[in-house]
Amino acid sequence: MTGRGEVTTGPLAVGQFVSMVKRTLSHEPMFQRQAIKGEVSQWKPYASGHTYFTLRDDEGQISAVIWKGRCSIHPSIKEGSEVVVTANLDLYVKRGNIQLVVERIEPVNTLGAMEEARRQLVERLANEGELDRERHQPPFAPKHIAIVTGEGSAALSDMQRLIDNRWPGLRRTVIGVLVQGDRAAEEIVRALALTRRLANPRTAALRGEPPVDLVIVGRGGGSPEDLWAFNLEPVVRAILASPVPVVSAVGHESDLLVSDLVADIRASTPSNAIERSVPIRAELEQWLDETDERLNLATLRTFGDARRQLIALHARLKVAPLAGINSGKRSMLALQSKLNRATEAMFAHERTRIVGLEASLHSIHPQRVLERGYAMTQTADGEVITNASMLTVGQRFNLQFVDGAAEAAVTEIHTTEE
Amino acid sequence: MTEKQPTYNEAAQRLEAIVATLERGGLGLDETLKLYEEGAALLKTCQAELVAAEGRLNELRLEDLEQELQTQEAENQN
């Protein structure tokens, strides 16, 4: 600071004094590169390229200047805009005016107002009890998933790939929408309205498919503005209106949107939505096979016990006195008929299994095998020759190729020794 | 199929319970048989549920699906 001595030696020249003030101001870190929020007034872009304005709020105001080309000015900034500036405090010595020299200027009205609207929406939903409403239980194995997301987006192809890994051929309806920008909310709402129609059994029957039983709505990561549609009331209300479970899958792990707060399942990412709602089919099949085997084994064990009992009864009956014979015989016959019925039931079950196996065998068409360069040998009667021992020297037989047949004769037979 | 078809999960849970009961043993033949038949039917249900999840892969732009549904519903009314 300037010493007291200067004051006592006589009056200071005003210019000198103002320069001293300027120096002091410019050395104060609080006044340099400070972020300040306020409203723009008297916005005046000059022909010189400089822009002058006043930054104000209800408590105070200060002049500000943006030197030509110093920073980019968002086109939405105008009289009355809420802005945040980063500026250095300066004093124009010639006039004794204090002003802000702006290094950066950004509109805040949009994001600020959006944040506020979001806060109010969450508060309203909380008051209505929507945030802790009872959630729909998602199906363990969905039969028809509807996905509402960006058309051709990376998030969509991630989800598709993941579904195909977990459950190839799982029925799904993808509704491509805009997921950011002014029209995103409206399109998401319309798409969710379609999922409600697809979840209606009557509409589904018209289309010849099961009703939608799970809805995934989401998009990949982006800036808060990009994701904002998922914070808007119409989208949130459309999620709440869904008769079937809705998975909200927006952005990355750290993004929490209002859609996440109201959905039946909050997935951290689109891929996570698939992991949480689509089981791995091969695992289910394996479980079913194992359970089938356990069911048969456990039942057979009980029958085995009964069979042994039957044999014992039979033996005792042979040596029993006449009086005991009738009752003994009756219980033996009863046991016998139960065993027969049980055996029949098991055979019936096994038969359907075998029929199923046959069907899958048929689907491996011989044509496919022939196309790979194999030929099928058949006797003149059309019987398939499966091993060399079926042939005799001199016998004529047919060779079936993919595009026709040839007749051949056996000249020699070599059988493979074990 | 007049009564409500159990979901995959319901069927699987009941199936697991049946198998566990049978594995514990000590049941009469009648009961064993009844459980066995129920189990076999549940297995079938579960397998059918897996097959039923296979189907069309639709991928449409919003307006196209709106149009498609509109047409289908209109045709149905005529």
| Distances from the Cα of A137 to the Cα of A13, A19, A171, angstroms | 82, 73, 19
Give the global pTM.
0.62
* CATH number of A254's domain: 3.40.50.261
Q: What band does B77 get if pLDDT is binned at 50, 70 and 90? A: confident
Report pLDDT digits (tens) over B12-43.
999 999 999 999 988 877 788 889 889 999 99
Rounded Cα distance between A374 and B65, Å, is 47
Shared domain check, A386 and A311: no
Share of chain A above pLDDT 70, in %: 88
Encoding tokens for residue B77?
Answer: 């009314």
Shared domain check, A267 and A378: no
Task: State the smallest CA–CA distance between residue B65 and chain A in angstroms.
Answer: 7
Task: From A279, A308, A337, give the residue that closes a domain.
Answer: A279
Is B39 within the bounds of a domain?
Answer: yes
Mutate to test the interface with A, among B4, B10, B22 (most CBs of A within 10 A): B22
Residues in B closer than 8 angstroms to A310, CB to CB, are none
For A80, the domain range is: 4-107
Shared domain check, A353 and A324: yes
Task: State the smallest CA–CA distance between residue A103 and chain B in angstroms.
Answer: 45
Is B69 within the bounds of a domain?
Answer: yes
* Number of structural domains found in chain B: 1
Is B65 within the bounds of a domain?
Answer: yes
Yes or no, beta carbons of A342 and B73 under 8 Å apart: no
Shared domain check, A372 and A359: no
Yes or no, beta carbons of B33 and A288 under 8 Å apart: no
- For B15, the closest of A291, A301, A338 (CB atoms) is A291
The ipTM of this complex is 0.88
Is B68 within the bounds of a domain?
Answer: yes
Shared domain check, A321 and A199: no
Mutate to test the interface with B, among A153, A164, A288 (most CBs of B within 10 A): A288
Average pLDDT over residues A140-169: 95
Shared domain check, A263 and A302: no
Rounded Cα distance between A44 and A51, Å, is 6
Q: Give yes or no for a contact between A77 and A38, defined as CB atoms under 8 angstroms apart.
A: no
Report pLDDT digits (tens) over A257-307.
999 999 999 999 999 999 999 999 999 999 999 999 999 888 888 877 777
For B25, the domain range is: 8-77
Q: What are phi and psi of B42, to 5 degrees?
A: -65, -40
Task: From A279, A301, A335, give the residue that closes a domain.
Answer: A279
Q: List Cβ neighbours of A88 (8 Å cut-off, separation of 6 or more).
A: A26, A31, A32, A33, A34, A100, A101, A103
Task: From A107, A131, A163, give the residue that closes a domain.
Answer: A107
Is B20 within the bounds of a domain?
Answer: yes
Is A381 within the bounds of a domain?
Answer: yes
Model pLDDT, residue B1:
37
Shared domain check, A24 and A9: yes
* Number of structural domains found in chain A: 4
Is A324 within the bounds of a domain?
Answer: yes
Task: State the smallest CA–CA distance between residue B45 and chain A in angstroms.
Answer: 11
Rounded Cα distance between A326 and A100, Å, is 116
